[in-house]
Chains A and B, each alone.
Chain A
Amino acid sequence: MAGEIWVLVEQWRGRISDITYEVLALGREVAEALAGSLQAVVLGPGAGESASSLGAADGVLMVEHSALAEPVPEVYALALAQIIPQRQPQALLIPQTNVTMELGPLLAARLAVPFVNSCRDVQVTDGRPVARCILYGGKVEASVTPQSAPAVFGILPGVRPPEQGRVERAPAVRALSVDLPTEFPLRFRGYTEPEAGDVDITRENVLVAVGRGIQRPENVALAEELAAALGGAVCGSRPVIDQRWLPPSRQVGTSGMIVKPQLYLALGISGAPEHVQGMKEAALIVAINTDPRAPIFDIAHYGVVGDLLEIVPAMTTRVKQGKQAA
């Protein structure tokens, strides 16, 4: 059955997110394998202006409504739940980021259709979309297929290169209308910028990152000393920020900062997908972890299975000695 494959265009604060193009590239492949057409779905006022870079799609489905001005997942889900029955797409691919996290489950629950969480790929096998999903912090993957259509897929960042899905051509735009209430139990009040930290980790060439493996707050000083010797700064993964061992301005990952330093030294960081999204573009990644199977070793260039509490001070001493000798 040749149906439509939909990709939700994620827009945040006035611009289309890169992940939209990544998911469009994936959607193109899925649509071709299913001999269907790829439709980019744009929600929000001024949606029509967004179409010019969505040429990877065969068409744009546009829903303009003042209630869709901000990406409030509840309201987006309500709008999508109204247009899906009109056109019965075979699959809807939704970027799964902090902007849209709960949109897929909310929508699937409204329509009682399948949802597949945390997909790192979708391929077509025997005429059915089969997703590869991340489980258990990246330690296991599941291949999963929905049992009926339409199905909703939450697609993680990095599924395809964004360039592959960015095509400067405006496809035909079709306007769809929705009927949304003016009052919701949920009202968006506004955004708050992060408090400026003492250090902007996105501008550092060298980052020494600490994770759960640092064990105690006083051990963060070991990382600070190495970072100082290397002329860089310390940052951390979610568990360290949650414990308040480092301020939120130092968080790397999906809800923190995306960093691309020359060197990223990951100390006691397992490499959960939410963290990896924030640092995988670093030029050189070195990981030290006690768990030889930690997923961080799959993206690191160099790895050491060992005790960071012993290795880090030894490195600091060496770096300092090297500087004195030079």
Chain B
Amino acid sequence: MLNILVLVKLVPDTVEELEIAPDGRSLDPASVRLILSERDEHALEQGLLLKERYGGTLTVIALDVPEVDDVLFTALAKGADRAVKITGMEPGPSTWTAAGLAARTLAAGPGLLPADLILTGVQAIDDLDGQAGPILARLLELPYVGITCRVEVDPGARSAVVVREYVGGVTGTFEVSLPVVLGVQSAEKPPRYVPVAKVRAAMKSQRLESVPASGESAVMRVEILQLMKPEATGRAVMLDGAPEEVAAQLCDVLAARGLL
């Protein structure tokens, strides 16, 4: 029976136009809609696949931010056994602080540690002063493998074989003893879809646990001087018109380059 923990976080949806707040160092909260970090969605899926394959319990853990309840109930509807939110602490923009908070809460929260596998997304789009997985691994003094795309566990031998992505499609295989922290790049299957009705049912029949953040807030060791919209180094020549007209213009561009 594996004890699997999946740490997830919510990040701004980049489909929305992100605006910078008047202080110049943070995002305007009015422009931010939070969604589950894409790599964390893969971490959750990988955790669910491992639970189904080897048996055990899966607990999904997130910091208490707006929209977090929806994300946690969705995880329960997908098959997580427990959902825990860490309350009472604003991590601000620091991945380091958030990872520190998570590490202390895992140690303090009821029945969370010892875990066999702690999974999280390999990166998040708001990582500024670190990546959650490796920092968490160091704080818990556990080994870490990042950019994972396949995980096989040998529960009896207390070990796992983990496949990591390199470049050009090459992968590397690692053997690691449990417990281990994994930074998931992609789950072995696409993240599962769960119908809204099932999420609603989870909201009625299951509950979220709250664990107050424990310990002092970790220090952010970098200073944000300014946030800015990137200066475009170049800019495409923009073509417009009805689809037919645009298609014709594009074909002219290709023809002029001898590509047709």
Contacts and interface: CB of A to CB of B under 8 A. Distances in A.
A145 B222 contact: yes
Classify the secondary structure of A's interface with B. mixed
A88 B250 CA distance: 56
A193 interface: yes
Q: Chain B interface: which size bin? A: 35 or more
B234 A258 contact: no
B57 interface: no
Of listed B129, B139, B189, B244, residue having the most chain A CB within 10 A:
B129
Contact of A302 (B177, B229, B239, B260): B239
Q: Chain A interface: which size bin? A: 35 or more
A305 B146 CA distance: 36
Contact of B146 (A73, A206, A270): A73
A172 to B, nearest CB: 32
Contact of B244 (A189, A303, A314): A314
Interface in B142-159: 142-147
Interface string A206-226: 100000000000000000000
Interface in A234-270: 238-239, 241-244, 248-249, 251, 254-258, 262-263, 270
Interface string B59-82: 000000000000000000000000
A319 B248 CA distance: 9
Interface in A287-312: 287, 291, 293, 295, 297-307, 310-311
A189 B12 CA distance: 38
A242 B246 contact: no
B173 A190 contact: yes
Contact of A191 (B126, B166, B183, B254): B166
Interface stretch (A21-29, A35-43, A106-114): A106-114
Interface in A63-107: 70, 72-74, 97-99, 101-102, 104-106
A298 B222 contact: no
Contacts of B223: 144-147
B172 A115 contact: no
Contacts of B137: 106
A192 B171 contact: yes
A117 B228 contact: no
Interface stretch (A1-9, A47-55, A133-141, A160-168): A133-141
A210 to B, nearest CB: 15
Contacts of B122: 101
A262 B257 CA distance: 9
Contacts of B246: 304, 306, 311, 314
B111 interface: no
A248 B169 contact: yes
Nearest to B169: A194
Interface in B186-211: 186, 189-190
B251 A322 contact: yes
A118 interface: yes
Nearest to B253: A302
B130 A315 contact: no
Interface string A145-172: 1111001000000000000000000000
A142 B220 CA distance: 15
Contacts of B233: 298-299
Contacts of A101: 122-123, 131, 146-147, 183
B115 interface: no
A185 interface: yes
Contacts of A302: 236-239, 250, 253
Contact of A133 (B42, B128, B138, B176): B128
Of listed B161, B229, B247, residue having the most chain A CB within 10 A:
B247
Of listed B169, B172, B223, B253, residue having the most chain A CB within 10 A:
B169
A262 B223 CA distance: 42
Given A98-B166, A297-B236, A298-B234, A105 B131 contact: yes
Contacts of B169: 193-194, 248-249, 251, 255-257
B260 A322 contact: yes
Contacts of A60: none
B122 to A, nearest CB: 7
Nearest to B166: A98
6 contacts: A108-B221, A109-B130, A139-B230, A142-B228, A302-B238, A319-B254
Interface of A: 12, 70, 72-74, 97-99, 101-102, 104-106, 108-110, 112-118, 130, 133-148, 151, 184-194, 206, 230, 238-239, 241-244, 248-249, 251, 254-258, 262-263, 270, 284-287, 291, 293, 295, 297-307, 310-311, 314-315, 317-319, 322-323
Given A105-B131, A151-B221, A302-B239, 8 more contacts: A74-B144, A185-B143, A194-B171, A241-B186, A295-B230, A299-B233, A306-B243, A319-B254
